[in-house]
Structure 1
Amino acid sequence: MDDNNTLQQISGNSLTNKMFEILQNNILNGKYPQGEWLVESRLCEKFGVSRTPVREAIRQLEQEGLVKIIPNKGAVVSGVSAQDIKDIYTIRMLIEGLASRWAAEKITVSEIQELEEVIDLMRLYTEKNDVPRLLKADSRFHSIIYNASKSKPLIHTLGTFHHYVQKARSTSFQTPGRAQKALEEHMAIFQAIVEHNANESEKLTYQHVKKAGDNLLKQLEKGI
């Protein structure tokens, strides 16, 4: 998708949010590396927008710790450090574990059916090595569990990690054999939830997220 054409069709707060999403993603995927300056005038020209949405997006990036605004100079990319990733995944292990526990206690029959359908898709995409579709199915699997927890605060909190999680999933599936192992982990989590085994689903999810975080750190050390 052409971001420039898309942005020209958006206005107001939605434009600021879209700019934030693009800049955030470019930082997380390494397109804007640590130490690079984000120059407002260049970004305005590149994306065909005014300074206001760019400036507001950069302020949001600063709130997330992804850039540092230096008076009279501009914004420099801080990036995401190894410690940031460790912190993010420590938080995720606890919160996603809790989401899985509550899902096991509160999940509906229709949500179980949705999970089963997604598991079938993940199995198919793993066999075909269709990474783009596998990533979408993986994301859908976790989203169903979040919603099944029936906790709006928890869902909102997990939403703040969305882009970090997407980066981790994309990187993780580049590791040989990781997709198959992830499928097996998802199947085990699914079974625990179906059996309404809250303790087991929480433990398995905790372990699953920890493995994803450990794998991401290893891949980033290799420069992937």
Structure 2
Amino acid sequence: MADARNFTVKKTSSLTDKAYCALKESICSISIEPGTLLSEGQIAKELGMSRTPVRESLKMLENEGLVEIRVGIGAFVKQISYKDLMDLYAVRKVMEVLAVRTSVDNIRKSDIRQLEEKFQALLEKHANDEEITVGEFINTDLSLHKLIIDKCDNQYIQNFMNTIFDNIKRVQTVSFEELDDIEESTKQHLELLDLIARRKKEELVIRLGEHIDWSMSCIRAY
């Protein structure tokens, strides 16, 4: 009996994870737009599962600030106001600048080379008028920032930043097609990588803060 119960718990957990990952990807990529009412029944039908794991996944997404559950009404994809945007980037700037003070000494040359190749590839595609998808650009953009967080010595910063990177991805995605900032953004990332490679910590701290301020000026609330 105990084994059967454990199997049921694991199966439910697995389905919850499946629903959570599917919804999170759709929300962060704006496949499901901000303000959309999320129907548990429809989602469950599309994913081939009952409503229970869907309901649990929505609670998880609410905890991460991606979904808003209104009692008696339902779950909605949370919108980001101008104040939310300002608060998000103010916290991001503080956390990343603090993180880079320790991560700069932990980032390997191979990590730097790998990212340099990705950003150079973006520049070449842009120069040749080749299509750059929103996912390609934003995933490359955030790869450097996530590396800075992953390599820092502060676990609290890592845990906190991992909860807000999804909202950062959302606001960048919604603004991607309106702004032609690929070249400038890529050059700034390459400059940051150069400073990391040369271990120019104080200059890196200043330029990273300026880059995040610039990034905030290039996006809009929705």
**TM-score for the superposition, normalised by structure 1:** 0.77
Alignment of 1:189-208 (within 5 A): 189-208=192-211
Q: Is the 8 A contact 2:109 2:197 kept in 1?
A: no
Asked if 1:155 corresponds to 2:158, the answer is yes
| Cα drift, residue 53 of structure 1 | 1.0
| Cα drift, residue 33 of structure 1 | 3.9
Q: Is the 8 A contact 1:62 1:69 kept in 2?
A: no
Residues 176 and 63 of structure 1, relative CA distance in 2, 3 Å threshold: closer
Residues 52 and 97 of structure 1, relative CA distance in 2, 3 Å threshold: same
Residues 11 and 174 of structure 1, relative CA distance in 2, 3 Å threshold: farther
Alignment partners' CA distance in 1, 2:137 and 2:77: 31
Q: Is the 8 A contact 1:99 1:149 kept in 2?
A: yes
* CA deviation map 1:129-165 (0-9, x unaligned): 4423333322333333333324443333222123222
Q: Which amino acid aligns with 1:67?
A: E
Alignment partners' CA distance in 2, 1:131 and 1:155: 29
* Aligned match of 2:43: 43
| Cα drift, residue 99 of structure 1 | 2.6
Alignment partners' CA distance in 2, 1:43 and 1:183: 37
* Aligned match of 1:70: 71
What SS class does the counterpart of residue 216 from structure 1 fall into?
coil
Consecutive unaligned residues in structure 1, runs of 5 or more: 1-9
| Cα drift, residue 30 of structure 1 | 6.9
| Cα drift, residue 169 of structure 1 | 3.4
Q: Which moved more, 1:77-86 or 1:193-202?
A: 77-86
**TM-score for the superposition, normalised by structure 2:** 0.77
* Aligned match of 2:100: 100
Q: Is the 8 A contact 1:131 1:173 kept in 2?
A: no
Q: Is the 8 A contact 2:103 2:151 kept in 1?
A: yes
Alignment partners' CA distance in 2, 1:11 and 1:123: 45
Asked if 1:164 corresponds to 2:164, the answer is no
Q: Is the 8 A contact 2:192 2:207 kept in 1?
A: yes
Q: Which amino acid aligns with 2:63?
A: Q
Size of the aligned set, in residue pairs, is 208
Q: What RMSD, in angstroms, separates the aligned Cα atoms of the two structures?
A: 2.8
